[in-house]
Amino acid sequence: MTRGYGDIARIHLQWFAPEDEGKTEDPTEYRLKKEREEGRVAKSPDLVAAIGLLLAAVALAIVGPWMFVTLRDMTRWFLTVSIEIDPTTDAAPLARAFLSYFSRLVIPIAAVAMVAGVFGNVLQTGFLFTTKPLRPDFKKVVPKFGQYFKRTLFSGEAVFNLAKSLFKIGVIGVVAYLNITAELPRLTRLYSSTVWNSAVFLAGVVIRIIIEAAILMLVLAVPDYIFQRQQFKKRLKMTKQEVKEERKMFEGDPLVKGRLKERMREIMSKNIAVNVPKADVVVTNPTHFAIAIEFDPLTMAVPTVTAKGADEMAFRIRSIAKEAGVPVIENRPLARALYAEAEVGDAIPEAYYDAISKVLAHVARIDKRVAAKYASMGT
C-alpha cells in the first residue's frame, strides 16, 4: 500500500518538475524564425481585445442613430407588414427582409471588429500568414497535466493573469460607477421621457462607459504585451546542448571543420614552400601580413600574388623568403591592402600598379636575379 502511494506521489512530483531546467540560453534567430513559421509568436490577446472594443464602440457611437432607425423600421415592418404574409407559402419575403435588416445592423460593427482584430495582431507581430496552427495536432488532444497545473496555478504567469483580470474588473467597475453616478439625476427623470429619448440616452451612457473602459484596457495592455514577450522568450530558452546541435547543423561538426582547416593549412604550407621561393619580393606589414609577389614579363601581363598569410603564416612566408634569398620589403599600407583585396593567384589590382612598380623597381636595384629577369623586357 505504501509503495503504491509513493508511486503516485512520485508521478505528481514529476508533473510539477520545472520545464526549463537547464535552459539558460536565449533562443537563436533560427528558433525564433521556426516558431514564427509555426504561427507561435509573442502577442497580447488583451491588446487585440482592447483595440477591437474601442473601435467597435467608436463605430457604434457614429452609426448608432442609423442603427436605431434601422431597428425601429425592422420592428415596425415585422409588426405590420409581416402579419399579412403567410409564412407557409411566402417565406421568401420574410427571409429577405430579415437578412436585409440583420446585415445592416451587424455588418458595420462586425467589419470594424474584424479590421481591429487584424490591426491589433499586425501591430504586435507584423504581417504573418500561416495555416500551420489550423492543422490537427494529436499531441494537443492528450493534456499535459503537470504543465497545465503549473502554468495555471503555480507560476508567475498565473499570478500575473489573475491580478490582471481582477484589475480589469475593478477598472470597468469604477468607470461604470463614475459614469452612472454622474448621470444619476437624469436617470431618475427618465420616467417622464419618451421611450426613444430614454433609449438614446442610455445607449450614450453605455457607449461612453465602453469607450473609457477600452481606453484604460488599451493602456493596461502595453505592460501585458511586454510581459507576454518575456514569457514567450522564456519558454523558448534553449539548453547549451541544443544551441550546440543547432550550430552544428548550420556550420557543420566542429571536429570535421577542425580537420578540414588543418588540411587546408597543410596544403597552404606546401604551396607556400613551393611558391615563395619563386617570388620576386615579399611585401610585409611587417609582422602581421606577408604577401609574395611574382612578375615574369614573358608569361605575365601584370604582377601576381603567389602566396599570402597573416600572423603565423606571415612569419613562415618571411622565413622561407629569407632562406630562398627573396627580398622582404616593408610597406604597411600596401601589405594590408593586398591581403584584403587580392587572393593567391590573382593579379595585382589596378589601383596598386604604381605602388607595386616602385617596389619592383627597388627590388631590381638590390637583387641581380630580379634585375636579370626584368632586363629581358627590353630584349
Residue 25 carries which DSSP code? B
Grid cell of 32 as nine digits: 525564433
Spatial separation of the C-alpha atoms in residues 333 and 308, rounded to whole Å: 15
Check whether residue 363 and residue 306 sit in a common domain.
Answer: yes
Mean pLDDT of 121-145: 65
CA distances from residue 174 to 161, 167, 340 in whole angstroms, order as listed: 20, 10, 69
One-letter amino acid of 337: A
Q: Residue 307's domain is classified under what CATH number?
A: 3.40.1690.10
Residue 339 maps to a domain: yes
Q: How far is 49 from 151, CA to CA, in rounded Å?
A: 22
d(CA 292, CA 280): 8
pLDDT tens for residues 78-116?
A: 777 766 776 666 777 777 888 888 888 888 888 888 888
**Residue closest to 348 by CA, chosen among 304, 286, 309:** 304
* pLDDT for position 283: 92
Question: In the beta sheet, which residues pair with residue 329?
Answer: 283
Write down the residue that cell numbers 469604477 correspond to: 174
Boundary-marking domain end, from 236, 262, 285:
236
Domain that holds residue 180: 42-127+143-236
Residue 145: name the closest of 30, 14, 309 by CA: 14
Q: Where are the beta strands (DSSP E) in the chain?
A: 281-284, 289-294, 304-310, 328-330
Which is more confident, 361 or 143?
361
One-letter identity of residue 307? A
Cα 63 to its chain centre, rounded Å, is 39
Strand partners, 309: 290
Give the model confidence (pLDDT) of 7-31 as tens digits. 444 445 444 455 555 677 777 777 7
pLDDT one-digit tens code per residue, 251-264: 656 666 667 666 66
Same domain membership, residue 342 and residue 289 = yes
Give the pairing type, strands 289-294 and 281-284.
antiparallel
Q: Residue 57 pLDDT > 80, yes or no?
A: yes
The mean pLDDT value for 356-364 works out to 87
Q: Are residues 285 and 217 in the same domain?
A: no
* Contact indicator for 362, 328 with CB cutoff of 8 Å: no
Per the domain annotation, does 91 fall within a domain?
Answer: yes
* Tens-digit pLDDT profile for residues 173-205: 999 999 889 888 888 888 788 877 888 788 888
Q: How many CB atoms lie within 10 A of CB 167?
A: 13
Residue 365: all three cell numbers together: 636595384
C-alpha distance from residue 181 to each of 5, 170, 215 (Å)? 59, 16, 20
Within this chain, do residues 283 and 164 fall inside the same structural domain, yes or no?
no
pLDDT in tens, 318-333: 899 888 888 998 998 8
Q: Are 285 and 231 members of one domain?
A: no
- Report the pLDDT value the prediction gives residue 7, as an integer from 0 to 100: 47
pLDDT of amino acid 245 = 77
Tally of domains in the chain: 2
Final residue of a structural domain among 236, 267, 284: 236
* 248, part of any domain: no
Q: Are the C-beta atoms of residues 356 and 337 closer than 8 Å to each other? A: no
Quote the cell numbers at residue 338. 593586398
pLDDT of 153 > 60? The answer is no
- What does the DSSP 8-state code read for residue 326? -
Average pLDDT for 272-284: 87
- 268 in a domain, yes or no? no
Same domain membership, residue 196 and residue 118: yes
